[in-house]
């Protein structure tokens, strides 16, 4: 069994030459044309139509399996639409560079644009394929030759990866792959007229580009062969070729890229203002950005801050937060940030053995680790993300299901360099781990506080919380002179119910009564289990008259609920209101006095003590 080929950053041809428009003089021309302008999304699409290698990167990112199943009929516009405005602009935000021997690249570039425009026109005339799809096929029809030229400009490695192997590894759209395979065989299409399928249409468009003097850089046609091509072309072909030449020059001229014009301001560096977002930042910027969610009450807030900081300050194209179940060796994708509105379709990933080993090493060392793809890898995390490398940042390694931040630059094709990227990623991971652990501790404290202040059976506040709330409401009434009413409720004949039906049914009666209280009263009211079968209700901003209506609803609703359960459940209620100078003891004493009056009058009713310390009015059933 052969050893898998693990890819390195230096071998990626799209990383070594990430954008044709990043060549310095072309970037200057484009920059001068766009200077001072707000570039629309439609203009971004038109600029991308001049950049074959940027489109390849975009196609790969747009068709990543994690965002949905493979589709057919791609175009530059549909690719940009799926990526969204921010990522479409990021495709063009690559550092400028000078490349030795760019003559061949420029000739191939012009040939690609001419073929694309010719294919678009032929598709419009014949209806064989969508014109925008035909443009894409024409633009990328020479991708194997592009990769061969890029390889000549790249540092030589100890192994050779062929263009065909790269194309298969990138999992490009099926119609493109079919075109490349057809071009590897003798064409059999020598006529500009009457193409019969998409492949023949691209061959015909390429012939028009040749006739328009946009040939291949290594065109090895002998003079006699070239003369034969010209001789085979009729007058209409030559007219179409002249029209195509004007069309190519006009399209490029619209963005200052006309190759017939001399370059000026060779020392002036004009960068197109494409607003792709901030990249790279100081470590303190990263920490402050994440610490902004210190008081977040959910993992989502912390995770959102972590992934957003990775994209904003680390210069990454995408950041994912995942949970790793080491028992099942599954990775669950919980959140993503990539400056787009794309939704995750696949959230459960199965890593390859090499990816599992790398993630275990990252947890063991508590450090970010670079994971490189294997050539031809069709499964695993990197295949699902359609990327050749990512940085895996471990979070909370002591958890049963530890988390990871997965950071990649598949769109911009900039390499991940450990000496430059690990310190920022390490800071991000440590800060995120601390925030998540802090959230866990706060949640534990909140649960402990909740158990200390609530009754486990009825899930109401307990006596302690009820008395604290009553004391606070009394102080508020003393300051504002607002009204307040207190109800003391007691289940009737509860001991008999326990003796005759059992303690489990008694517990059921208590829970049912508590639920009726919750559903009948307002959210601003405080309900607590005061004693064994007693409940205390504090009604702020409520007069005695208003409270009598509530009391009537309460005892009738409890009786109805008891009948539904087949249990003799009723309550008696004592009602009193706030009086100047009241204390917790005095108001509870009056409520208790009124409660016992209800018991004396026959139970399942309410009584009111509002006139004076010795006057009680009984409620009517």
| pLDDT at position 486 over 80 | yes
pLDDT of residue 270: 53
Contacts 24+ apart (CB under 8 A), 532-535: 532/494, 533/490, 533/491, 533/494, 534/488, 534/489, 534/490, 535/460, 535/488, 535/489, 535/490, 535/571
Residues with Cβ within 8 Å of residue 101, at least 6 apart in sequence: 152, 153
pLDDT of residue 260: 65
- We find that the CATH architecture of domain 17-253 is Orthogonal Bundle (1.10)
Residue 269, Cβ neighbours under 10 Å: how many? 11
Find the mean pLDDT for residues 569-592. Answer: 93
Least confident of 53-67, 292-306, 358-372, 389-403: 292-306
Tens of pLDDT along 266-290? 444 555 555 444 445 565 666 666 6
Q: What is the mean pLDDT of residues 24-40?
A: 83
* Dihedral sign, Cα of residue 351, residue 353, residue 354, residue 357: positive
> What is the predicted pLDDT for the residue at 613?
46
Whether residue 488 has pLDDT greater than 70: yes
Q: What is the DSSP string of 272-292?
A: P----------HHHHHHHHHT
Token representation of residue 177: 């792959």
User: What secondary structure letter does DSSP report for 129?
Assistant: S
- Average pLDDT of the residues in 29-41: 84
Could you give the CA distance from residue 342 to residue 62 in angstroms, rounded to a whole number? Answer: 9
pLDDT band at 263; cut points 50, 70, 90: low
455 torsion bin: left (phi>0), alpha (psi -120 to 50), beta (else)? beta
Q: What is the pLDDT of residues 82-114, one digit of tens each?
A: 999 989 988 887 766 555 556 788 888 999 999
Question: Which distant-in-sequence residues (6+ apart) come within 8 Å of 133 by Cβ?
Answer: 73, 74, 75, 123, 175, 198
Which residue bears the tokens 């064994």? 532
What is the model's pLDDT at position 273? 53
How many other C-beta atoms are found inside a 10 Å radius of the C-beta of residue 592?
18
Specify the length of the chain in residues.
621
Element (H, E) at 603: none
Say if residue 305's pLDDT is above 90: no
Instruction: Supply the mean pLDDT for the chain.
Output: 83
612: CB partners within 8 A, 6+ apart: none
**Fold agreement between 17-253 and 463-618:** no
Query: DSSP character for 20?
Result: G
- Angle CA 486–490–495, to nearest 5: 165
Q: Is the dihedral of CA 518, 524, 530, 535 positive or negative?
A: negative
> In a 3-state reduction of DSSP, which class is residue 28?
helix
The 10 Å CB-count burial string (b at 16+, else e) for 294-312 is eebeebebbbbbbbbbbbb
Give the separation between CA 387 and CA 408, rounded to whole angstroms: 7
User: Among the options 11, 533, 563, 564, which is catalytic?
Assistant: 533
Q: State yes or no: is 533 an active-site residue.
A: yes
As a whole number, mean pLDDT of residues 24-32 equals 82
CA 367 to chain centre: 24
Looking at mean pLDDT, say which of 59-68, 217-226, 287-296 comes out highest: 59-68
How far apart are the C-alpha atoms of 464 and 470, rounded to whole Å? 10
Q: Two tokens at 554? A: 């309460």
The helix or strand, by DSSP H or E, that contains position 368, with its residue range, turns out to be: none
Query: Is-contact 83 76, C-beta < 8 A?
Result: no
Residue 390 dihedral angles phi and psi, to the nearest 5°: -150, 165
Contacts 24+ apart (CB under 8 A), 582-589: 582/474, 582/477, 583/474, 584/467, 584/470, 584/471, 584/474, 587/470, 587/474, 587/486, 588/470, 588/486, 588/488, 588/536
What's the confidence (pLDDT) of residue 97?
58
- CB-facing half-sphere around the CA of 607: CA atoms within 13 A: 24
114 compared with 306, residue with greater pLDDT:
114
Q: How far apart are the first and last CA of the chain?
A: 88
pLDDT reading at 532 higher than 80: yes
What are the angstrom distances between the C-alpha of 294 and each of 314, 429, 430, 495? 21, 15, 14, 50
pLDDT at site 615: 47
Residue 29 · residue 263 · CB < 8 Å: yes
Domain layout of the chain by residue ranges: 17-253, 283-444, 463-618
Q: Residues 6 or more apart from 2 whose CB is under 8 A from it?
A: none
The pLDDT score that the predictor gives to residue 112 is 93
Rounded average pLDDT over 161-174 = 85
Q: What is the pLDDT of residue 221?
A: 47
State pLDDT tens for residues 429-442.
888 888 877 777 77
pLDDT for residue 484 is more than 70: yes
**Residue 191 pLDDT class (50, 70, 90 cuts):** low
Question: Whole-angstrom Cα distance, residue 179 to residue 144?
Answer: 11
Region 531-542: what's the mean pLDDT?
92
Stated pTM of the model = 0.71
Domain covering 463-618: architecture: 2-Layer Sandwich (3.30)
The per-residue pLDDT for 156 is 61
Q: pLDDT-derived band of residue 444, with 50, 70 and 90 as boundaries?
A: confident
Quickly name the fold that domain 283-444 has. Answer: Beta-Lactamase (3.30.450)
pLDDT at 508: 93
User: Where do the H-state alpha helices sit in 328-462?
Assistant: 353-365, 381-385, 418-453
**Residue 286: its pLDDT value, please?**
64
Paired with 487 in beta bridges are: 537, 575
Confidence of residue 291 (pLDDT cuts 50, 70, 90): low
pLDDT digits (tens, 9 = 90+) for 498-525: 989 999 999 999 999 999 999 999 888 9
Sign of the C-alpha dihedral computed for residues 498, 504, 509 and 513 taken in this order:
positive
Range 80-91 burial, b when 16+ CB lie within 10 A, else e: bebbbbbbbbbb
pLDDT bin (cut points 50, 70, 90) of residue 552 is very high
Give the span between the Cα atoms of 289 and 79, in whole angstroms: 31
Give the tens place of pLDDT for each residue, 137-152.
999 999 888 888 777 7
Contact assessment for residue 182 and residue 142, using Cβ atoms and an 8 Å cutoff = no
Identify the bridge partners of residue 371 per DSSP, sorted by sequence position.
390
Least confident of 82-91, 233-242, 333-342, 518-527: 233-242
pLDDT at res. 1: 47
């Amino acid at each position: 069994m052969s050893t898998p080929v693990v890819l390195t950053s230096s071998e990626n041809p799209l990383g070594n030459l990430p954008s044709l428009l990043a060549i310095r003089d072309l970037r200057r021309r484009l920059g001068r044309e766009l200077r001072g302008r707000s570039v629309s999304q439609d203009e971004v699409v038109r600029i991308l139509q001049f950049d074959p290698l940027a489109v390849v990167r975009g196609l790969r990112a747009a068709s990543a399996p994690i965002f949905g199943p493979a589709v057919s009929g791609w175009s530059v516009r549909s690719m940009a639409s799926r990526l969204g405005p921010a990522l479409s602009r990021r495709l063009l935000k690559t550092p400028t560079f000078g490349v030795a021997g760019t003559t061949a690249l420029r000739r191939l570039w012009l040939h690609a644009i001419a073929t694309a425009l010719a294919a678009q026109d032929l598709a419009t005339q014949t209806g064989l394929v969508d014109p925008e799809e035909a443009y894409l096929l024409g633009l990328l029809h020479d991708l194997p030759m592009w990769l061969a030229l890029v390889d000549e400009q790249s540092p030589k490695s100890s192994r050779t990866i062929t263009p065909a192997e790269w194309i298969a590894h990138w999992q490009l759209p099926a119609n493109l792959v079919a075109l490349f395979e057809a071009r590897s065989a003798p064409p059999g299409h020598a006529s500009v007229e009457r193409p019969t399928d998409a492949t023949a249409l691209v061959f015909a468009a390429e012939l028009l580009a040749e006739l328009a003097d946009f040939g291949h850089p290594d065109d090895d046609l002998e003079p006699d062969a070239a003369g034969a091509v010209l001789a085979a072309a009729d007058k209409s072909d030559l007219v179409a070729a002249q029209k195509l030449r004007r069309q190519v020059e006009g399209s490029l001229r619209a963005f200052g890229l006309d190759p017939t014009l001399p370059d000026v301001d060779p020392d002036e560096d004009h960068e197109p203002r494409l607003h792709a977002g901030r990249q790279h930042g100081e470590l303190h910027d990263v920490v402050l950005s994440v610490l902004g969610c210190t008081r977040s009450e959910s993992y989502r807030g912390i995770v959102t801050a972590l992934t957003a900081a990775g994209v904003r300050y680390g210069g990454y194209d995408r950041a994912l937060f995942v949970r790793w179940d080491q028992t099942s060796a599954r990775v669950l994708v919980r959140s993503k940030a990539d400056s787009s509105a794309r939704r995750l379709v696949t959230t459960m990933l199965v890593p390859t053995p090499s990816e599992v080993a790398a993630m275990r090493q990252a947890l063991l060392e508590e450090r970010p680790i670079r994971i490189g793809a294997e050539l031809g890898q069709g499964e695993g995390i990197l295949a699902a993300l359609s990327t050749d490398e990512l940085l895996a940042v471990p979070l909370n390694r002591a958890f049963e299901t530890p988390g990871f931040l997965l950071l990649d630059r598949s769109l911009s094709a900039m390499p991940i360099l450990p000496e430059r990227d690990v310190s920022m990623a390490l800071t991000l991971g440590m800060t995120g781990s601390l925030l998540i652990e802090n959230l866990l501790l706060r949640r534990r404290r909140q649960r402990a506080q909740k158990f200390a202040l609530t009754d486990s059976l009825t899930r109401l506040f307990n006596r302690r919380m009820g008395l604290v709330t009553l004391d606070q409401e009394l102080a508020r009434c003393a300051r504002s002179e607002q009204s307040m009413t207190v109800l003391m409720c007691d289940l009737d004949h509860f001991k008999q119910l326990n003796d005759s039906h059992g303690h489990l049914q008694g517990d059921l009666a208590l829970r049912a009564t508590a639920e009726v209280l919750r559903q009948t009263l307002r959210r601003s009211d405080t309900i607590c289990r005061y004693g064994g079968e007693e409940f205390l209700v504090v009604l702020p901003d409520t007069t005695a008259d208003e409270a009598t209506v509530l009391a009537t609803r309460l005892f009738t609703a409890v009786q109805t609920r008891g009948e539904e359960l087949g249990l003799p459940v009723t309550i008696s209620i004592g009602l009193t209101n706030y009086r100047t100078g009241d204390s917790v003891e005095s108001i509870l004493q009056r409520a208790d006095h009124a409660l016992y009056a209800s018991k004396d009058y026959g139970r399942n009713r309410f009584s009111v003590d509002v006139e004076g310390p010795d006057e009680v009015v009984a409620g009517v059933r």
